Amino acid sequence: MEAAERRATVLKAVVEEYVRTAQPVASQTVTDSRDLGVSSATVRNDMTQLEREGFLAQPHTSAGRIPTDQGYRYFVDHFTSAGGLPVGQRRAVADFFATTHRALEDLLHETSQLLAKLTSHAAVVVGPDADAVRVRSAQLVAIEPGTVLAVVVLGNGAVEREVLRSELEGDQLARASRTFDEAIRGGTLAPVTESTSTGDRAVDALVTDAVRAVTTRARHVSDHLYVGGVSRLAAEQDAFATTATTARLLEMLEEQVVVVSLVRDLLDHGVHVSIGSENDVDELRDCSIVLAPYQVEGALAGTVGVLGPTRMDYAQALAAVAAVSQQLGRLLLPSVS
Amino acid sequence: MEAAERRATVLKAVVEEYVRTAQPVASQTVTDSRDLGVSSATVRNDMTQLEREGFLAQPHTSAGRIPTDQGYRYFVDHFTSAGGLPVGQRRAVADFFATTHRALEDLLHETSQLLAKLTSHAAVVVGPDADAVRVRSAQLVAIEPGTVLAVVVLGNGAVEREVLRSELEGDQLARASRTFDEAIRGGTLAPVTESTSTGDRAVDALVTDAVRAVTTRARHVSDHLYVGGVSRLAAEQDAFATTATTARLLEMLEEQVVVVSLVRDLLDHGVHVSIGSENDVDELRDCSIVLAPYQVEGALAGTVGVLGPTRMDYAQALAAVAAVSQQLGRLLLPSVS
DNA sequence: GTTAGCAGTCGGTAGACTCGAGTGCTACCG
DNA sequence: CGGTAGCACTCGAGTCTACCGACTGCTAAC
């Protein structure tokens, strides 16, 4: 084995050991657990080299090495081939998606919990950007005297609805419904400004109302974040500097919008794993994010992800995220959930 | 002042000081901060008495006193008159409910966050029991070829919907819709077993389907828990024994069902404040719960609550919970959100 | 019943010491 | 020249001790 190659193997070993034990890894530990065919002294030399290059760090002089963010990055880029999930977990995922059948929101929520369970980390599921979702059909339905329900079916099978007040009935309502449908069908739910005119004031008013309500709501829903396994964050405390860090993390997840835009942003740049300081957000300095988009009928429908400490089993997380996103996309296929 | 009366005052002082500082309260501290007209030695005597009676405890021999659960209980029962919220907070609540207007779920969710912000503790909002909600109207609407939407308007103004597959159209669908409405209107959403028969197999099938879907969903929704301010739990860590306790708490909140039934159970017994060991649930040994039901048109519609450490500002929590529940009920009044 | 005064208790902190895990270096070897 | 053995050195973690100070509990006096 060449020297450079061996150094890479040493790095790999250090990452794997550190992920497993959460303890700084000693040269001896590496030679004991791996069959490198060299002595610990040689590994020590390699380690100093790796430290000079920025892949490893020492918490203090007389301690073992731990990976730096750069070290994790190298590990992820070079040693995490798209491995499969262990059979047990693969079964769990398949079972979950086979037996579940719920409304879309519930499904996404429970998916986040599944992912959290699989990886033992917090998990997030992000819906598609409102601008990217097409409207398949829309209509207005009278549900009570004075009350109208706007119903919109979206490309990903979601059915959104919004309650409106209106006295319209019968023909007028039917006309409004048609106009409403024409106004937004086929388009996205990005805010529409153009106002259609049917010549009937009351009808126009209702349609305008409906369009506004639905687009507003869509924006709200699309920015929604489903979070599963927040308790894991508390359990992982020791990975974070202070308990205040954990609190801030939870806060951020509750605020949703930061995380949603972060996730979208990362994926826009084709990033699937973001490690520690690679995250621009301060709260995530000690965290890594592993993402996978899921698709419905070829179109990007959303993202599933895992949020854990940088000291994370990346291979496992990647496998889990891939499996879940794939199955989720498949389940959403039959157009209506 | 009589001796017994003074002892109560001492207890009050200890609770208030401990809530403020999180430090065991010394006799000196009490005499310094209150004007009892007696010396610290007397307070010490009172304290030993209070300790004998089970209201106070000493973490160790040479330390100040902290309230026991029983001490908090006495405090809550005797010293927390239904005080109002400070003006600033009262304004915040009023503003929130004046400006917000969202779909029901969003409203409840944001209400929990409001309450969390007000009290600096985690907050929960529980919807009404499915068995207690009456159906105001129900119908089936075709939204796409092969797809039917069941829409149910509930007594509290919520609009639930469920997507169904069915090829029925026109007259048949209209008939199914009428039958569906008749089947569940006015009743609760408790699972219905009786099957109606219209003489048309296809119609019957759809109606049965719809009823089942809607009642299942209602059960699911009614057991839903809106949690706000989970990050506060992490921040309050020091109040709990270990970080594992926090993790278990978060887990429980994620599971929802335990908390929901606990809250319902407490309220059924007319309990508004449950302190530490009064909770049967192990995870809540170090927590207190402050609850207030909210009503819509005179009927119990749900519950808002605060979940914090036993060392909690009960007066403030009670005031906040009362204000929020009242405003929430008022806002839900106009029958449709 | 209240108080002043004082002895006694105990947690928390700082310093001294030891232990051991691990490194870095140097000299040596194939 | 890469690899290795061996050894000195470093430094964190744990243990022990002493000490300080915060409070109490008690007793004797008011």
pLDDT tens per residue, range B109-122 = 999 999 999 999 99
Question: What distance in Å separates residue B252's CA from the closest CA in chain A?
Answer: 9
Tokens linked to A161? 């609805």
| Residue in chain B nearest A226 by alpha carbon | B254
Exposed e or buried b per residue across B260-289, where buried means at least 16 C-beta atoms within 10 angstroms of its C-beta: bebbbebbeeeebbbbbebbeeebbbbbbb
pTM of the model: 0.90
Beta carbons of A205 and A148 less than 8 angstroms apart: no
Beta carbons of B68 and B24 less than 8 angstroms apart: no
Query: What's residue A337's pLDDT?
Result: 40
Tokens linked to B256? 């929802």
Give contacts of A238 with chain B, Cβ < 8 Å: 243
Low-confidence ranges of chain B (pLDDT < 50): 335-337
Interface touch A254/B230, C-beta < 8 Å: yes
Considering only the beta carbons, identify the residue of B151, B228, B234 that sits closest to A141: B151
DSSP code per residue over A199-221:
S-HHHHHHHHHHHHHHHHHHHHH
Give average pLDDT by consecutive 10-residue segment, chain A, 337 residues. 90 97 96 93 97 96 95 96 87 90 81 97 90 86 89 82 87 92 86 72 89 84 90 87 88 94 94 95 95 86 95 96 93 59
Which residues are CB-contacts of A40 (< 8 A; sequence separation ≥ 6)? A26, A27, A28, A30, A31
Tokens linked to B134? 């009456």
Using a 7 Å cut-off to protein CB atoms, list the covered nucleotides of chain C.
1-5, 8-11, 20-26
Q: CA–CA separation, A224 vs A256, rounded Å?
A: 7
Q: CA–CA separation, A335 vs B240, rounded Å?
A: 47
A237 contacts chain B (CB < 8 A): yes
What is the distance in angstroms between the CA of the first residue and the CA of the last residue of chain B? 54
Q: Which amino acid type is present at position B255?
A: E
Query: What's residue A271's pLDDT?
Result: 92
Beta carbons of B217 and B203 less than 8 angstroms apart: no
Q: Which amino acid type is present at position A182?
A: E
Pick among A113, A163, A164, A217 to test the B interface (most B CBs inside 10 A)? A163
Closest CA to A43 of A15, A17, A70, A8: A8
**DSSP state at residue B310:** S
Q: Which amino acid type is present at position A80?
A: T
Q: CA–CA separation, A72 vs A16, rounded Å?
A: 10
Distances (CA, A) of B311 to A166, B15, B71: 50, 8, 11
Which residues are CB-contacts of A216 (< 8 A; sequence separation ≥ 6)? A191
For the segment A257-312, what is each residue's pLDDT rounded down to a tens digit? Answer: 999 999 999 999 999 999 999 999 999 999 999 999 998 877 788 999 999 999 99
B41 touches strand C (CB under 7 A): yes
B21-80 residues near strand D (Cβ < 7 Å): 23-29, 40-41, 44, 47-48, 51, 58, 61-65
Query: What's residue B81's pLDDT?
Result: 82
Q: How many CB atoms lie within 10 A of CB A48?
A: 13
Q: CA–CA separation, A238 vs B107, rounded Å?
A: 35
Q: CA–CA separation, A105 vs B122, rounded Å?
A: 23
Distance B66 CA to D18 C1' (A): 30
DSSP code per residue over B39-104:
-HHHHHHHHHHHHHTTSEE-SSTTS-BEE-HHHHHHHHHHH---PPPPHHHHHHHHHHHHH----H
